[in-house]
């Protein structure tokens, strides 16, 4: 039995899990999504992810045809039917079928709800031990006043362009700057630095998604009495930090040891980063919605 995908209340085999070519999610990137993870049959921060999904949908005036509780139930059913203990979960809501015009009013039916669960894909284990080398890229992060990065929309071209630029330069991940040149975030991760034992991360108004892993790191820091600041960061501050790391549902917490050719600290993952990685791993093993 193969992978089963949830579409609008029904389960389909992977090969039959399809949506219309007239779906505005495909035609215009008109829709929203969330990337969630489960660890040992516990879905981490499921409520928070679904809340963010509804906020993204609210802003683009997309009516999700289910309640948050119904989506949570559907996520759990999809995980159960596929028998995953550890999974990567993708919840996608598209505007649905319309015509060849971008007006969302032309999508007469309901929005389309898709839930895909699969094995997790993440950076090779080696990079968590050695740390990642990253570069800043020319593509500027979307301006909040144009397309707010808080909307986790199906249009990820801004991030994909940045990823292409990093890969073309021989790096796995890109640091995106905002239109003023301040550090915003990476293509699918938030960024933190450590300086004099304190944490700094760009505020969400700087073209930065309010990441759920980012929030979790801020909670851990609080519980460990480590000062954490949401503060604008320049490249200079990044280059001269003693530690740096990225946070995201897919990557979890990954150390950064080089930025634009500048060594960060000793060039090895730092002790605050390693402590946070350990604590994060504890939290994900003990907290979440059980299935
Ligand atoms: N910034 C951006 C632009 C993101 O897309 C994050 C930060 C981290 O947020 P969370 O809430 O996950 O801590 C994201 C999250 C993927 C993938 O398939 C992308 C994300 C999450 C999971 C998978 O590339 N983005």
User: What is the average pLDDT across 254-268?
Assistant: 98
Q: What are the strands of the beta sheet with 289-290, ordered from one edge?
A: 10-13, 4-7, 112-118, 87-94, 31-39, 42-43, 289-290
Average pLDDT for the chain: 97
Instruction: Give strand pairing partners of 183.
Output: 177
Site of tokens 């990065």? 149
Q: Which CATH superfamily is domain 126-283 in?
A: D-amino Acid Aminotransferase, subunit A, domain 2 (3.20.10.10)
Any idea how long the chain is?
291
Among 118-127, 212-221, 222-231, 252-261, which stretch is predicted with the lowest mean pLDDT?
118-127
Report residue 204's pLDDT band, with 50, 70 and 90 as the boundaries. Answer: confident
Positions marked active-site: 152
Ligand 1 atom nearest to 36, measured from its CA: 22
218, pLDDT greater than 80: yes
Residue 141 CA to ligand 1 center (angstroms) comes to: 14
Residue ID of nearest Cα to ligand 1 atom 7: 189
Determine the Cα–Cα distance for residues 91 and 53; give it in Å rounded to an integer. Answer: 8
* pLDDT band (50, 70, 90) for residue 207: confident
Ligand 1 midpoint to CA 126 (Å): 21
> Tens digits of per-residue pLDDT, 116-139?
999 987 889 999 999 999 999 999
* Residue 259 pLDDT level (bands cut at 50, 70, 90): very high
Name the residue among 68, 35, 75, 56 with its Cα closest to residue 247: 35
First CA to last CA across the chain, in angstroms?
20
What pLDDT, on the 0 to 100 scale, is given for residue 122?
Answer: 82
How high is the pLDDT of residue 240?
Answer: 98
Q: What is the mean pLDDT of residues 258-275?
A: 98
Q: In angstroms, what is the span from residue 154 Cα to ligand 1's centroid?
A: 12
pTM tops 0.85, yes or no: yes
In the predicted model, what is the mean pLDDT of residues 101-122? 94
Residues touching ligand 1 (Cβ under 6 Å) are: 35, 159, 185, 188-190, 209, 211-214, 247-250
Confidence check: pLDDT of 1 > 80: no
Helices 68-82 and 46-59: angle between axes, nearest 10 degrees:
130
CATH numeric code, 4-118: 3.30.470.10
Domain with CATH 3.30.470.10 in the chain: 4-118
Taking the centre of ligand 1 as the mean of its atom positions, its distance from the CA of residue 22, in whole angstroms, is 27
Question: Mean per-residue pLDDT for 257-264?
Answer: 98
Looking at residue 206, what is its pLDDT? 73
Residue nearest (by alpha carbon) to ligand 1 atom 6: 189
Which residue of 141, 144, 189, 218 sits with most ligand 1 atoms within 8 Å of its CB, as the best mutation to test the pocket? 189
Looking at the chain, the domain(s) classified CATH 3.20.10.10 span 126-283
Where do runs of H (alpha helix) occur along the chain?
Answer: 24-28, 46-59, 68-82, 125-130, 157-168, 212-223, 235-239, 271-286
* Probe residue for ligand 1, chosen from 249, 252, 283, 284 as the CB with the greatest number of ligand atoms within 8 Å: 249
């Amino acid at each position: 039995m193969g992978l089963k995908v949830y579409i609008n209340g029904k389960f389909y085999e992977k090969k039959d899990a399809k949506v219309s070519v007239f779906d505005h999610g495909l035609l215009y990137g008109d829709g929203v999504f969330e990337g969630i993870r489960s660890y040992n049959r516990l879905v981490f921060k499921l409520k928070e992810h679904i809340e963010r999904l509804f906020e993204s949908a609210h802003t683009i005036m997309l009516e999700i045809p289910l309640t948050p509780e119904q989506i949570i139930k559907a996520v759990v059913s999809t995980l159960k039917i596929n028998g995953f203990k550890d999974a990567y979960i993708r919840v996608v809501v598209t505007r649905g079928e319309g015509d060849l015009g971008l007006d969302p009013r032309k999508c007469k039916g309901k929005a389309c709800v898709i839930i895909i669960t699969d094995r997790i894909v993440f950076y090779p284990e080696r990079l968590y031990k050695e740390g990642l080398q990253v570069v800043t890229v020319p593509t500027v992060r979307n301006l909040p006043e144009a397309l707010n990065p808080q909307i986790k929309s199906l249009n990820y071209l801004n991030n994909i362009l940045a990823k292409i630029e990093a890969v073309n330069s021989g790096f796995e991940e890109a640091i995106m700057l905002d239109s003023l040149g301040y550090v915003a975030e990476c293509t699918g991760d938030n960024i933190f630095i450590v300086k004099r034992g304190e944490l700094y991360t760009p505020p969400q108004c700087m073209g930065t998604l309010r990441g759920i892993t980012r929030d979790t790191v801020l909670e851990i820091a609080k519980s460990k009495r480590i000062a954490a600041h949401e503060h604008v960061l320049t490249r200079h501050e990044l280059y001269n930090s003693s530690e740096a790391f990225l946070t995201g549902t897919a990557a979890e917490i990954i150390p950064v040891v080089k930025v634009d050719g500048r060594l960060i600290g000793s060039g090895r993952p730092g002790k605050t980063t390693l402590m946070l990685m350990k604590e994060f791993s504890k939290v994900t093993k003990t907290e979440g919605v059980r299935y």
